[in-house]
Amino acid sequence: MWEYTDKVKKHFLDPKNVGEIENPDASADVGNISCGDALHLTLKIDKKTNIILDAKFKTFGCGSAIASSSVLTELIIGKTVEEAKKITNQDIVNQLGSLPKEKIHCSVMGQEALEKALAQYLNEDIPEEHTHDTGQIICKCFGITDSKIARLVTDHDLHTVAQVTNYCKAGGACTQCVSQIEDIIHQVHAEQQHNKPHKKPMTNVQKIMKIQQVIETEIRPKLESDGGDIELVDLIGNEVFVSLRGNCSGCRLAEFTLKDVVEQKLKEMVDKDIFVKEIKP
C-alpha cells in the first residue's frame, strides 16, 4: 500500500486551478488517455512582462497525477516564463512533500506539459520527447519511445528498468519491452562514460599536498576535539601511512578512526582508491 503525504491528499481532494483557460496564450497536452494518465495545461501570460497570470489543468489519471498537476499550477502562477522554465519534476515532488517512487511519472508528466506549453509560447521547437512520431516506440502498452527513455535515463541518472518504469511507466505492464529498456540504459551510460573527460592523475607530490591539506582542514580538528592528533608519515602508491598521536594513540577505537574517519575522508576528497595504514611509534 502506497503512503501519501497530507499535501498530496489535500491537492487530490481539493485540487487548485482545475479547468481550462479560454483563448490561452499557451497550452499543452501530454500523456495518452488510452495508455493511462493524460494532462491538458493552459496558461495566461502577460506578453509585456512574460509573467504567468493564470494556469489551469485537466487531468485524467490517479490521485498523484491530479495532485502533481494542481501543485504545478500553484508553482508557476506569478512566475516569469524564464523562471517557470527552470521548474523540474523534483520541484513538484518537493512541493508535495514526496511521492511514492511508483508515482514519480506523474510529476514528470507535469514538467513535460510545462516545457511543451512554454516552448509553444516562445515559438521554440517542442522537445522531441513530447511528440509521438519521434523515435521508435519501445513500450507499446504506454506508447513510450526510445528517445524518451534515453532522455529520462540521462536527466535523472536512472540505472534500472524499475526506475524507468517509475518515471514513465515503460515496462510496467506486459514487460515485453524490458530487455530493450535494459539495452537503452546500458547504451546511455556507455556513451556517457566514453564522453566523460579523463582526469589527469595527480603526481605524487600533488597527492601528498592534497592529503596534507585534508588532514589539516578536515581530519585534525575532529581528532583534536577529543585530545588526539595525526601526522602524515609517508605515501607509497595509494597507501597512506599515518601516525596517531595523543589520545588517539593506542585507543581501542583507533581502527575505527583510521577507517571511518581518516580513510573515508581521504577517499572522498583525494582519491577513492586510497588505503590508510597506521605506523605505530
Q: Which of 62, 106, 248, 251 is catalytic?
A: 106
Q: Please report, for residues 22, 65, 97, 146, the alpha-carbon distance to residue 151 in angstroms, rounded to integers and kept in the order given.
A: 33, 21, 25, 9
From CA 120, how far away is CA 158, in angstroms rounded? 29
Residue the block writes with cell 524564464: 82
Told to judge if 35 belongs to the known catalytic residues of this protein, a careful annotator would answer: yes
From CA 162, how far away is CA 182, in angstroms rounded? 10
SS3 226: coil
Told to judge if 248 belongs to the known catalytic residues of this protein, a careful annotator would answer: no
From CA 197, how far away is CA 216, in angstroms rounded? 30
From CA 35, how far away is CA 113, in angstroms rounded? 17
If you write DSSP's letter for every residue of 132-151 in order, what string do you get?
TTSS-EEETTTTEEHHHHHH
Query: Could you say which DSSP state residue 6 is in?
Result: H
Could you give the residue ranges of the DSSP H alpha helices within 159-259? 161-168, 178-195, 204-214, 220-224, 254-256
Active site members: 35, 106
